[in-house]
Amino acid sequence: MSPASEKITRDDLENAFRGIVDDGHETVVETGAKAAGAAGALAFLALAVTYVVGRRRGSKAKAVVEVRRI
C-alpha cells in the first residue's frame, strides 16, 4: 500500500463524526423518554410518601385545647 492511498480526507472525518453524533443523539432520545417517565414516577412517589408521613406526624403532634367560660 502506498501512502497516497491511505490519506484521510476531510469528508471521511466529517462522515465518521456525523455517524458518531447521530448514533449518540438517537440513544439520548430513546433513553430520555424512559428517564423522564421514571423521574416523574419517582417524584410522585416521594410526594405521596411525604404527604402520608406528614399527616401521620401531624395527628400525633396535635394539641387538644379546651376553652371554658367562667
Provide the residue-wise pLDDT of the chain in tens; the chain has 70 residues: 455 668 889 898 898 888 887 777 777 777 888 888 999 999 999 999 999 888 776 666 566 777 888 7
Query: How many Å apart are CA 56 and CA 32, to the nearest integer?
Result: 36
Handedness of CA 62, 68, 69, 70 (dihedral sign): negative
Within a domain: residue 2?
A: no
- Domain contains 13: yes
Asked whether residue 67 is assigned to any structural domain, the reply reads no
Grid look-up 367560660 returns: 69
Residue 3 within any structural domain of the chain:
no
Residues in the chain: 70
pLDDT value at position 1? Answer: 47
Cell of 67: 376553652
Residue 57 lies in domain: 9-61
* Its pTM surpasses 0.85: no
* Total domains, the chain: 1
Task: Establish if 36 belongs to a structural domain.
Answer: yes
Q: Which helix (H) or strand (E) holds 7?
A: none
| Residue 33 maps to a domain | yes
Block residue for cell numbers 371554658: 68
* 40 in any annotated domain: yes
